[in-house]
Structure formats: structure tokens, C-alpha cells
Chain A
Amino acid sequence: MAESVIGKRIPKVDSREKVTGQAVYAGDMRMPGMYYGKVVRCWEHAHAKVKKLDFSAALKVPGVVKIIGPDDVTKKPYNTTVMKLLVPEIFGEVFGEIADLNIFNRVVKHQGDAICGVIARTEEAAERAAAKIKVTYEPLPVYMTVEASKAEGKKKNGYLFTPLKPGNLAFDLPESFFPGKRYGWNDKDGKTAEQLFSKCDYIIEDTFYVPKQKQCQMENHSYVAHYDERNRLNIWTSTQMPKPVQVLIAELFELPLTRVRLTQTTVGGGFGVRLGMIGEPHACAMAMAVPGHPVRMEFLREEDWVASETRYPGHIWLKMGFKKDGTPVAVDAMYSARKGGYYTHGSGPPFCAAAFLHGMYKWQALGMQTEGYFTNEVPTGAYRGYGNPQITFAAEQMITKMCNELGLDEIEWRKKWHKSIGDETWLKGVTFASDGLNDCLDVAAKEFGWYEKKKKYAKQTGVKRRGIGLAVMQHTSGAFPMLLEHSVCTAKLNEDCTVELIQQISDLGTGGHTVITQMAAETLGFPMEDIHLKSGDSDMCGFDIGAHASRTIYCAGPATIEACESVKKQLLERAAQLLEANVADLEMKDKIISVKGNPQKSISAVKIAKEGVYNYIDAATGKTIGIPGQIQGYSSFFAKHCSPPYGACMSEVEVDIETGEVKVLNLVNGHDIGKAIHPPSVEGQLEGGAQQGLGFVLTEEYAYDSKGRVLNNDFTDYKMLGPSDMPKAKIILVETAPDPIGPMGVKSCGESALMGPIGSVANAVYDAIGIQIKEAPITPEKVLKAIKEQGLRK
């Protein structure tokens, strides 16, 4: 039998094409008759009315083919997200899902809003023409904070971002689903968290700030769209959610799915920024304006910054109550967030922030409120973690502070009080099926030298102070049962007994294509090279939600396994017929199917596959040779659970108390993966996520001027950590708690990587100087100010 590839450090199936530059991104595509499309955006204002739009000078630029404005495209409003496909319609209505975006706009709600589109023969001509389009604006007041938006919304005849959302409140938890507009639970006597504080010995209350962070994926949004001679709309895009986006495009342009073909190109990083549509409507609208000509449209980096979604920023208020022995009693919380100019993922991240608070500790009662107010900022949407980084930054700092003040060992407290098997996860009514957190804590503490360092850094003098910090987290593997988690796989057995997997798998660089191939090889007992995954073509692939909620391996893997099991079963059934044996008595090894214990009685699977396709008639007998029919396995799989993984991260920092500079020296992240199918990919996820988590907690945030224009729409002034800024990081894959539901025991890892570094670095700074910095990113400016104002506390 082919040697098992599960858990092996084999090269990724797509690594060679990527490192040699052969992988094709949408921006690489060149087609006959191709034009270039450029979206003209509003750069001068964050809030304005378009009074006049004059294309006359631009139309005279040589090479310009057409310029289209708001009146030349569908007026149908849309929402970038695929939420409407993930929940029943009624549920979406209760949650307040709306469609408030237009392809081209007469009212600008944030800097970068699209005004019109130039189609030209070259990008240069498109740029020159774009510069000559005259737009006359009437500036409107900008609302850049929750307070400002709320106050305006409360006024009689105050400005509303959309009449669909009174008071400019984009989202809060609906009363009908969430009594008191809170997510959580009451204690056994029905008492709310608020009511339980009177029973607590120790109460802490604080407000934290979480930043507006950009995904900074390497590939700017790029598309090719082509309305072809068969009246089909073709779109090439690196969206994370190809099938749902195909549906959204079909709906927006009122076409049947047979007339919309979406091809997913190589994805140059996702991290949530491609969770739904971004520039697809504009690319398609331009292509439809010039039928027969493909139109390539690429965002500039500065466009990506103002016209694609970001993390949801805002303030998180938390009040926690405990008994003096540390028993957690009650937590009450509020996440007050800035939505940006449009609804998009209005309900998602705020709800999930509450959900991940819900999933972590065994409180007697918990209630969290969330609200998102429209602001004249770039809309917020999905970014790796989806609310969890935000709540972890706040909640884990509170837990550590409580442990310090009550004199408790924070590792032991977390071991004792985290939710475990049988307890409710982030989602009400869904319980944990496996729990590897204690092991994560133990291996991380050992590798990190937690207790040794704790002792060593207890008393420090001097300018550079070391500190260590811990944070734990739980996340999710797919979003079932709240959201639809459906994946379809067809496994086609070729006549040479190799397998073509036809399945939409969004590999954002995460290793998805590799792992799916490994799972197929393992299920069939075939070598990896005998499996090929065909993905990315909506004409061919069955349904798949796409890459969101760390779901791919957990939710799509079972479809692969089921389809391959079906192929294997069909092979064995034919072998049983040909060998005149029972299926149950057969085994397949190296593509030879034989009766167990009687290897002479055997038949080659290759022969069965071949004869199924080339089912010739034997001229001598007049009968067919072999059993007819090409074998195909098929699965339309719906996830059964969301098996949350846990993680424990420890960080060591050095704080310069004269300058406030924080240097992360060392980071150990233990992750409860269940089973790592492809360990290098899991480690890569956790290492890459650490870089984004450290950026959240230390350096990254949008800066706006007073008029709502972004001051740092490039890498000169939006600072991510670079290679030389990264600490030594040790990722430990904990496999002691394989999940009973996840395929082959897996739990997710894609989004899990950010929370631990965020919470642990914040706590390490707190440990070093004795002061909690409650606003992320924790910049030297904030640290030094805090030391100046409060004095070193340690």
C-alpha cells in the first residue's frame, strides 16, 4: 500500500509553481482584444454629494474606449458579503442584513468610493483619462466616531447613512433573538450577569480600544471580466468564496448561473479581505459595457486601502466579577464599533466578538452587547479572527490582571475555568467535543520556561525591563450550525486508475489543495501523485461556501473523503463481482484488490478502471470485457459541528522604560490542532498569523485626517512587522486531543494564530512595567505616556 502521507512533511502541491513564478494571478492575464478598466474614485472627500460628472475631456484621451457612470450600470443595491446565502432569509432579516452598496455612486460615504469607470486600450490611457474626469462635489460633514454618528442619527432630520438603518445604528443584537440585546446566558436561578455582581468579591471593569487593521494581502484585488459572444459573463478573480460570488454576480446582473462563469485565479493572500465581492461588480459592469472584449481591472495598493474592507475597530467595555478564590461569576460587556460607510459584514464581527467571549470560560452568567455605527471610513468586514482578536485583546488582559490581584497562578486558573468537553462553545447549544488546552498550556510553559522566567523577572532594575505574558483562545472550525457549511466533491476515476478530484477548494496559501489531496490519497490508499485536484471553475465544480471561518479542511475535507470512499466502494463491489467474493472479505493494497488471507484471488483496480471506460465487446464471445461504466464518487456534505480548537501562547518582551519601545523577543504558541494533516502548513498558518497578531497589538492602524482621508494608505506609513522585526517563534502542534467529529481528527488553525500573540504580548507589556496598555496598537508613544502618568508599577 502506498505509504500514508498523513502528517508528513511533504512539499505542497502548488509550491513549485509559486516559487518559480508560474502561478497565474488575474493581474498576469493577457487575452486577445483585452481592455483595461479603471475605477475612478473619490479621493478628496470622505463624505460628499456628486454635483456634476463631466467626461468630455477624458473621452478625448487617445485610447479611451468608453466611460461609464452611475446611470450606465444596474441601480440594484448589493452587499459585498455572502451572508444571504449562509442563513435562511428570515434569519437574515432578523439580523438586519441590508444591501446598501452601488457600483458607482452619487453620494460618497468614504474616501475611495467609486464614481465611474474608464475603459481604455491600455492602463496608461485609462490613468490619463481618469485624471481628466471632472467631478464636482458638495462636501458633507464627516462622522468619524461612534459618538458623532450616533448623535447625528438621534437628531430630528439628522443625516442617515441609509434610511434602512435608523439612528445610523448599522447593527446591534436583535431583541427577538437576544433578550436584553445580549448574547450569553443567565445563571441557574435565571439571574443575569448584572444581577450577579452583588455576589462577587472582586470586580474589575475597564474599556479597551482595538484598531482598524488592514489585511495587507500581497496581491492587490485584480480581475478580468469578459462578456463573451455566447452572452456569458466570465469573471476571473481571487475571491475566497468563488461559488457564492458567482451567485451574487448572477443576482446583481440578473443572469442565470449558466451564464456566469467564475474562475478562481491563484489567490495572493486572503485573510478575509476577499470574503465576498470587492471589485467584481465594477469589473463585470465594465466588461458588460464592451461585450466581446475582456477587461482587466487591478486595484492599486492605495485603492485597496480605501476601497476594500478592514478589521472592525472600536471600544470594548468589560466588567468581570469573581469570588475571592477566583471562581468566575459574571461578565458583562459591550463592543461599540465603527462600521465604516456601508453595512457589508455589519452583523458578523461584533456578534463573533461576543461569541468568542461566550466560548472561553465557565462564568455563571454572561451577557455581551454589541453595536456598530456607520462612520465615513473604509467599510469594515472580515479579517482573520473575525471579532476574536478584538475580544481576546481585552478579555485576556482582564483575566491576567484578576489573577495577579487575587494572587492566583494564571496558568492554573485558565486550566481550571476554561470551558471543556460538554460545555457550550461560542455558539449556544453546541458543545465542545474535544479539548487540548491543558496540554497546550503545559507544553508551551515548558518550552517557554514560564515559571523560570516568572521568577527571574520578578525584580528588575535598569532601563530595559523584561516581561512575560500568556493568553489562551478558542476559535471555530467552520460556522455550523449558525451558517451553512456545504461542500461538494466529485472524485472521477480515470481509466488509468488515477483520480481527478473536482471540488472547489479555496487555497489562500493555506495548504488547502495539498491537504485535500493528501486526504484523498489516504482514503483511497493511492499515492499522492495519482490524485489531481481540479478547482476554481464554477462551470465544473459543485457547490462550496469558500474559505471562511477556518473551515476548509474541516468542512470540505469530509466531502473529499466521502467521494473517495465511494470510488473505493465501487471498485471493491466490481472486484467482488468479478472475483465472486463478498465485498466485506476484500482489501485493496497498491491498487490490487484481493480476498483477505488469499492473495492469489485478486484483481487489479487498474484493470477495473480501464475496463469500465473501454468496455469493448469481445468478438469471440459477443460479451463485454469487464464491467461497464466510468466510476465516479460524489459527496454533497453538510458539516455536523464546528469543533473549536484551543490555543495557548506565551510571549516575552523587553520594554525600554525611557523610550517606551517594546521588543518582542520570544513567542511560543501551542495549538490544539487535533491532527495536523500537513504539519508545515499548520506551522505556516500559526507563524504567519503571529505576524498579523503582533501587528495588531504593536504597530498597525489606519490614520485619518480631520476630513476622513487616510494618511497611511501605503507601506511607508502603515507599518506591519517585517522579517527583522519578528521574534523567535516556536509553534507547537498539540495532537493529544484529536477531534471525534473532525475528519481524521482535525480542528482548524487558519484564524487561530492571531489571538494568542495579541493577548500574550499585551500581557507581557503589563508584566514588564506593571501597567496595562488598554489601547491597541501598543505604541512606544502610549507606553511612555503611561509610564510618565502612572509611574512604573513594577
Chain B
Amino acid sequence: MASSRILPEFELLLPQNIKEAVSALGKLKSKASVMAGGTDVVISCTKGFGSPNVISLAEIPGLDYVVYDSKKGLRIGAMATLQQVADNADVKKRYPALQRACAINGTPQTRNMGTVVGNIMRASPSGDCICAVLAIGGKIVLQGPKGKREVNIDDFYLKYRETACKADELAIEIKLPAISAKNAFARMTRTTLDLSKVNVACSLVMSGKTVKEARVAVGAVAPTTIRLKKVEAILKGSQITDEVLQKVVATVPTEIKPIDDVRSTAEYRRDVAGVMVKRIILEALGK
């Protein structure tokens, strides 16, 4: 049994640049975990799930950026904290789903340390940023020994806690497209400071009253956060009427595979996920 007070021994690597980090990762591969803010990695260590090596990004300069460009969209560096993203004016204006996911994540203390890229990379099925980004759409920029590549968020999560990021690759950035879509995020928790028992997000491109494009994501109801393709199909080309929303509510449970755990039950998650999706659609549209 590990101790929640005494960290087990591990090698702490402090690369000074991305190249050094990638090289260290290339050598250690799955024997190392990458640490940005440390809010998950350190907890994992105290729970006995730590790696023998921790590669900290703390001393690599220039990774804490949040930059918006009206053509290229939003870029978030690997060391940008949840609080930094939550406070960013462009994020507030254009990506309210992500803003919300960051602003209510964890506690004030962990928001000041934890990072958005870290939340994405941890690949928890209940990750709030994952849910928001999956709804908005985006790309994860990975740096490997042979160079950079970008993976679409839609293809990123393979199975429970497993991503398309290879053992020798380092996530250095996420990119969100410049969008005009209306987006929103909400989650359900037991108390305010908690992990999500269900989270939902949507992003809707509207043409007048009609939905032109829809992306709907829901978390903590399957091994990974998932998009609800059937729901998106219902929404696409429709106007948001009570009838359509009823159809959405009825369809959501058919697309999810929740489980019983200490936070909730499968039955409850099935019962409320539809309601939450309905409500998030209305919230995104300002209704």
C-alpha cells in the first residue's frame, strides 16, 4: 500500500527543451510518465500507480501559451493551466464549452497547477476538457523522435485510458479550429468539488434556426468520452423543437454504455444523460 503522504521513489527528469524531453521519452517509453502540472501524476504516485520515471515539463520554457487567431483558431501549449485558459478572453468569447470545463475543473488550487493538455492526455472517460474539446473539435500536436504529427481528437481516444499518442511521443499543444459554432459544456457531480459523474458538451453551427452542423460529446458513460453520432444526425438539418429534443433525449441512452461505480449507477447515467444533452443544446443556443 502506498502512502498519501510519502511519495515513492522515482527518477525525476527535468529536460530543458522539447528535444531533450522527447529523447528521454524515447529511451524510457512506457516506463516514464510525463508531468505538466502534476495534479494527476503525483496523486497516481501516492496511490501506488506511479512510474519509475517522471519527465517533468516544468523547466521547458515557452509552453504555457494560449493564443487565438481568427483564421487559425486557438492553440493551447502543454503547460497552459486550466485557470489560464478559463481566464482567457478569446476562450470565454468563442469556446464557452472549454471555458466552462476549465473553470469548474477540480479546485482553485488544482486549476492553478493542472493543465488543459494534461487533462486531455490523462484520457479519463470523465475528463471535462476532453468532453468540451471533443464537442468543439480539435487536434492534438504530438512531437516524436521523427518529428511532429497532429491527431484529430475524434481519432485520439482508442479505449479506456488509451490514446493514439505513442510511448515515445510528447503532446505539446492542442489546436481548436476557428469556429462560429455555439458551444456549451455542463457536468453533473455529487458536490461542487468533484469529478464528473456525467459530462456533456455540444457545438452547433446554426443557419438561422436550423442546425447546420452538430457535434455532441458525453463523458463518463463509456470507456472513453464519446460523440453521439445518432444524436448529431437528428440535430443536423433540424430546428430545435420540443419534438426534436424529445427524440434526442430518447436516443442518447442508445448510444452510451455506462457502468456502476462509486460515483453513480449505470441506470442513473442512462436516465440523465439525455436530459443533460437536451439542456446543453438549449444552453448553447441561449435558450
Contacting residue for B190 out of A301, A699, A784, CB 8 A: A699
Q: What mask results when residues 244 to 287 of chain B are scored 1 for a CB within 8 Å of chain A, else 0?
A: 00000000000000000011110110011001100000000000
Q: Besides the contacts A659-B276, A781-B267, what 6 more A-B pairs have beta carbons closer than 8 Å?
A: A127-B3, A302-B1, A660-B268, A779-B190, A784-B268, A784-B271
Contact, CB under 8 Å: B190 / A712? no
Q: Is residue A717 within 8 Å, beta carbon to beta carbon, of the partner chain?
A: yes
Contacts of B194 in A (CB 8 A): 719
Q: How far is the CA of A724 from the CA of B3 in the complex (A)?
A: 29
Contact, CB under 8 Å: B6 / A123? yes
Contact, CB under 8 Å: B192 / A725? yes
With contacts A127-B6, A699-B190 known, is A43 near B1, CB below 8 A? Answer: yes
Contact, CB under 8 Å: B4 / A658? no
- Considering only CB atoms, which chain A residue lies closest to B198 in the complex? A659
Contact, CB under 8 Å: B272 / A659? yes
Question: Total interface residues on B, using CB and 8 Å?
Answer: 23
Contact, CB under 8 Å: B191 / A659? no
Contacting residue for B191 out of A711, A725, A785, CB 8 A: A725
Q: Is residue A721 within 8 Å, beta carbon to beta carbon, of the partner chain?
A: yes
Contact, CB under 8 Å: B6 / A124? yes
Contact, CB under 8 Å: B191 / A123? no
With contacts A123-B6, A716-B195 known, is A41 near B1, CB below 8 A? Answer: yes
Q: Is residue A703 within 8 Å, beta carbon to beta carbon, of the partner chain?
A: yes
Contact, CB under 8 Å: A724 / B192? yes
Q: How far is the CA of A43 from the CA of B1 in the complex (A)?
A: 7
Q: What mask results when residues 138 to 154 of chain A are scored 1 for a CB within 8 Å of chain B, else 0?
A: 00000000000000000
Contact, CB under 8 Å: B272 / A714? no
Contact, CB under 8 Å: B272 / A300? no
Contacts of B158 in A (CB 8 A): none
Q: What mask results when residues 1 to 37 of chain B are scored 1 for a CB within 8 Å of chain A, else 0?
A: 1011110010000000000000000000000000000
Q: How far is the CA of A719 from the CA of B190 in the complex (A)?
A: 7
Contact, CB under 8 Å: B192 / A722? yes
Q: Is residue B211 within 8 Å, beta carbon to beta carbon, of the partner chain?
A: no
Q: Is residue A562 within 8 Å, beta carbon to beta carbon, of the partner chain?
A: no
Q: Which 9 A-B pairs have the closest CB atoms?
A: A781-B268, A43-B1, A724-B192, A719-B190, A127-B6, A658-B275, A719-B191, A711-B262, A703-B262
Q: Is residue B151 within 8 Å, beta carbon to beta carbon, of the partner chain?
A: no
13 A-B residue pairings within 8 Å (CB atoms):
A41-B1, A659-B272, A712-B262, A714-B4, A716-B195, A719-B191, A719-B194, A724-B193, A725-B192, A780-B188, A781-B265, A784-B268, A784-B272
Contacts of B271 in A (CB 8 A): 784, 788
Q: Which of A43, A659, A720 gathers most chain B CB within 10 Å?
A: A659
Contact count A vs B, C-beta below 8 Å: 61
Contacting residue for B267 out of A661, A699, A724, A785, CB 8 A: A785
With contacts A123-B5, A714-B4 known, is A780 near B268, CB below 8 A? Answer: yes
Contacts of A699 in B (CB 8 A): 190-191
Q: How far is the CA of A123 from the CA of B272 in the complex (A)?
A: 46
Contact, CB under 8 Å: B3 / A300? yes
- Considering only CB atoms, which chain A residue lies closest to B249 in the complex? A658
Q: How far is the CB of B186 from chain A (nearest CB, A)?
A: 11
Contact, CB under 8 Å: A661 / B188? yes
Contacting residue for B264 out of A127, A300, A720, A781, CB 8 A: A781
- In chain A, positions 736-794 with a C-beta closer than 8 Å to chain B are 779-781, 784-785, 788
Q: How far is the CA of A131 from the CA of B3 in the complex (A)?
A: 10
Q: How far is the CB of A671 from chain B (nearest CB, A)?
A: 26
Contacting residue for A301 out of B4, B192, B193, B262, CB 8 A: B4
Contact, CB under 8 Å: B3 / A720? no
With contacts A659-B275, A699-B190, A699-B191 known, is A300 near B262, CB below 8 A? Answer: no
- Considering only CB atoms, which chain A residue lies closest to B190 in the complex? A719
- In chain A, positions 368-382 with a C-beta closer than 8 Å to chain B are none
Contact, CB under 8 Å: B262 / A658? no
Q: What mask results when residues 291 to 308 of chain A are scored 1 for a CB within 8 Å of chain B, else 0?
A: 000000010111000000
Contact, CB under 8 Å: B272 / A658? yes
Q: How far is the CA of A30 from the CA of B1 in the complex (A)?
A: 26
Contacting residue for A300 out of B5, B265, B268, CB 8 A: B5
Contact, CB under 8 Å: B4 / A717? no
Q: How far is the CA of A721 from the CA of B264 in the complex (A)?
A: 17
Q: How far is the CB of B268 from chain A (nearest CB, A)?
A: 4
Contacts of A725 in B (CB 8 A): 191-192
Q: What mask results when residues 181 to 220 of chain B are scored 1 for a CB within 8 Å of chain A, else 0?
A: 0000000101111110000000000000000000000000
- Considering only CB atoms, which chain B residue lies closest to A695 in the complex? B191
Contacts of A780 in B (CB 8 A): 188, 268, 272
With contacts A127-B6, A703-B262 known, is A722 near B193, CB below 8 A? Answer: yes
Q: How far is the CA of A714 from the CA of B47 in the complex (A)?
A: 11
Q: How far is the CB of A423 from chain B (nearest CB, A)?
A: 40
With contacts A123-B6, A784-B271 known, is A720 near B262, CB below 8 A? Answer: no
- Considering only CB atoms, which chain B residue lies closest to A780 in the complex? B268
Contacting residue for B4 out of A41, A302, A659, A779, CB 8 A: A302
Q: How far is the CB of A610 from chain B (nearest CB, A)?
A: 52
Contacts of B276 in A (CB 8 A): 659
Q: What mask results when residues 697 to 729 of chain A are scored 1 for a CB within 8 Å of chain B, else 0?
A: 001000100000001101011011110110000
Contacts of B195 in A (CB 8 A): 716
Contacts of A711 in B (CB 8 A): 262
Q: How far is the CB of B257 from chain A (nearest CB, A)?
A: 18
With contacts A780-B268, A785-B267 known, is A300 near B4, CB below 8 A? Answer: yes
Q: How far is the CB of A113 from chain B (nearest CB, A)?
A: 13
Q: How far is the CA of A658 from the CA of B191 in the complex (A)?
A: 18
Q: What mask results when residues 67 to 79 of chain A are scored 1 for a CB within 8 Å of chain B, else 0?
A: 0000000000000
Q: What mask results when residues 551 to 591 of chain A are scored 1 for a CB within 8 Å of chain B, else 0?
A: 00000000000000000000000000000000000000000
Contacts of A124 in B (CB 8 A): 6
- Considering only CB atoms, which chain A residue lies closest to B1 in the complex? A43
- Considering only CB atoms, which chain B residue lies closest to A718 in the complex? B262
Contacts of A779 in B (CB 8 A): 190
Q: What mask results when residues 630 to 658 of chain A are scored 1 for a CB within 8 Å of chain B, else 0?
A: 00000000000000000000000000001
Q: How far is the CA of A39 from the CA of B265 in the complex (A)?
A: 35
Contact, CB under 8 Å: B267 / A721? no
Q: How far is the CB of A119 from chain B (nearest CB, A)?
A: 16
- In chain B, positions 148-194 with a C-beta closer than 8 Å to chain A are 188, 190-194
- Considering only CB atoms, which chain A residue lies closest to B276 in the complex? A659
Q: How far is the CA of A711 from the CA of B263 in the complex (A)?
A: 10
- In chain B, positions 44-81 with a C-beta closer than 8 Å to chain A are none
Contacts of A298 in B (CB 8 A): 5
Contacts of A41 in B (CB 8 A): 1
Contacts of A43 in B (CB 8 A): 1
Contacts of A127 in B (CB 8 A): 3, 6
Q: How far is the CB of B275 from chain A (nearest CB, A)?
A: 5
Q: How far is the CA of A124 from the CA of B191 in the complex (A)?
A: 34
Q: How far is the CA of A298 from the CA of B191 in the complex (A)?
A: 29
Contact, CB under 8 Å: B188 / A722? no
Contacts of A716 in B (CB 8 A): 195
Q: What mask results when residues 407 to 427 of chain A are scored 1 for a CB within 8 Å of chain B, else 0?
A: 000000000000000000000
- Considering only CB atoms, which chain A residue lies closest to B3 in the complex? A127
- Considering only CB atoms, which chain A residue lies closest to B188 in the complex? A659
With contacts A127-B6, A661-B188 known, is A717 near B275, CB below 8 A? Answer: no
Q: How far is the CA of A721 from the CA of B271 in the complex (A)?
A: 24
Contacts of B268 in A (CB 8 A): 660, 780-781, 784-785
Contacts of A131 in B (CB 8 A): 1
Q: How far is the CB of A50 from chain B (nearest CB, A)?
A: 16
Contacts of B188 in A (CB 8 A): 659, 661, 780
- Considering only CB atoms, which chain A residue lies closest to B4 in the complex? A300
Q: How far is the CB of A128 from chain B (nearest CB, A)?
A: 8
Contacts of B193 in A (CB 8 A): 722, 724
Contacts of B272 in A (CB 8 A): 658-660, 780, 784
